[in-house]
Amino acid sequence: MKKIENIRINYNLNSISKKEFSSSPIKQFKNWFNDVVDALIEPTAMTLSTYSQDYGVQNRIVLLKEIKQSGFVFYTNYNSTKGQQIALNNNVSLSFFWPKFQRQIRINGIANKISTKDSVSYFKKRPRKSQLAAWVSSQSQIIKNREILDCKFLEIEKKFKNKEIKKPNFWGGYLVKPSTVEFWQGRENRMHDRLIYQKKNNKWILNRLSP
């Protein structure tokens, strides 16, 4: 096996400066997202960290589904572990790593459920089998085996045959309203660029951080 400590790449693709950055982190996020969207396999994949009473902090990947003026939207099962954790403490963080571009974005914010109307509107756009899967999966619950899941899928598929699949009440979106957004661009000799937006008196302030 390759020695882990010898794995090392050079970061030297680009640099960033406050001058060229937007006054809005959302606008800046969109600029970076546009740079990468066609070049990456899963550019919307982001790590979501939540506070867990049992483990301190827990994270997992979810998919970014909308960038609103007010924040970042993802969808999930509201009864899942993450849903239960957010119900108790809605301070969350998101992070993206786009290695091909040597870029990272980190977001801290508050997660709140979006309106049922908006969740329904997105649910309707999902492929039918993904809609069924939302009904089938009691996300994060222990199950005895795979067969139980597959049987339930067939059962639910039968139930909704030739019918519109309604959005389950336990499934929907969260909006993460950011309080900080940090953009990281890898630079040579580990002298990376970091620019952070922080909200002060309802205005975004942009600062450079030491790498």
Please identify, using beta-carbon distances, which residue of 24 and 58 lies nearer to ligand FMN: 58
Asked whether 97 and 107 are in contact (CB, 8 A), the reply is: no
190 catalytic per annotation: yes
Binding to ligand FMN in span 60-99, by CB under 6 A:
60-63, 74-76, 80-82
Separation of alpha carbons 48 and 28, rounded Å: 20
Q: What x/- string results for residues 146 through 185 when contact with ligand FMN is judged by CB under 6 A?
A: ----------------------------------------
Binding to ligand FMN in span 19-58, by CB under 6 A:
42, 45, 58
* H-run or E-run covering 149: helix 146-159
DSSP-assigned letter for residue 168: P
- Find the shortest distance in angstroms from Cβ 82 to ligand FMN: 3
Query: CA of 120: how far to CAs of 64, 73, 126, 180, 189, in Å?
Result: 17, 14, 10, 29, 48
137 binds ligand FMN (CB under 6 A): no
Please identify, using beta-carbon distances, which residue of 61 and 151 lies nearer to ligand FMN: 61
Asked whether 21 and 29 are in contact (CB, 8 A), the reply is: no
135 binds ligand FMN (CB under 6 A): no
Asked whether 17 and 207 are in contact (CB, 8 A), the reply is: no
Chain residues binding ligand FMN by CB under 6 A are: 42, 45, 58, 60-63, 74-76, 80-82, 139-140
Active site residues: 190
